Structures are given as structure tokens and as C-alpha cells.
Amino acid sequence: MAKAEKQLTLKPLDDRVVLEPTEAEEKSAGGILLPDTAKQKPQQGKVIAVGPGKLSDKGTRTVLAVKVGDTVLFGKYSGSDVEVNGKEYKIVRESEILGKLNK
């Protein structure tokens, strides 16, 4: 387990997922260095922790489609930004995840 994962004291509830957003691109496609004000918000991140799943009407938990270590895409303004131990994370519901990136 990575050092960052061991220090994470945040455990998501229900169908929520904790993501570590990737850094914004430093250069444009043409190779131009971008200032901080021109960088777009990252829309992909690595799954750091997952909740137990949403509770169904029958009282059972639904299994989440993502797991720790997956790289996922999410909406630009989805989820909540939080800071834990000086590190930025994003908490999103599973339904806000748009897809998984295959390696």
C-alpha cells in the first residue's frame, strides 16, 4: 500500500468515492506553457477509497463498479473538494463518475 493511502483517515459512506485528482496540464497541445489562470480543472483522478455501496430498498448493499487504484473521469464541477492532511481530494458519488480509463 502506498504511503498516501496509509495516511488517509477519510472513509467514504454509501456510494461515495474518494479521488486524488491528477495535476492540470502544464503545456498546451502545441507545447506552450500555460499560466495557472489558463489551466483547466482536472477531470480525471485516481480512486483512493470507496464506500460500502448504496443501500437498496431490500436492505442489501450494491457493489460499486470502481475499486481502489482505478483511474476515472468525472464531471468538471462534480463532487466536493476536501483537504485531508494537507492533500487535496475530491469526494464524488459513483453516479458522477463518467467512466474508467483502461491501462
Ramachandran quadrant class, 85 (left: phi over 0; alpha: psi -120 to 50; beta: rest): left
Give average pLDDT by consecutive 10-residue segment, the chain, 103 residues: 57 93 65 59 87 91 93 91 90 94 82
Q: In the β-sheet with 97-101, what is the strand arrangement from edge to edge? A: 80-84, 87-93, 16-21, 44-50, 71-74, 97-101
Query: Rounded to two decimals, what is the model's pTM?
Result: 0.75
Whether the CA torsion 31, 75, 53, 9 is positive or negative: it is: positive
At 26-50, the pLDDT tens digits run 555 666 665 655 555 668 899 999 9
Distance, in Å, from the CA atom of 76 to the CA atom of 95, rounded to the nearest integer, reads 14
Distance, in Å, from the CA atom of 45 to the CA atom of 86, rounded to the nearest integer, reads 17
The per-residue pLDDT for 41 is 63
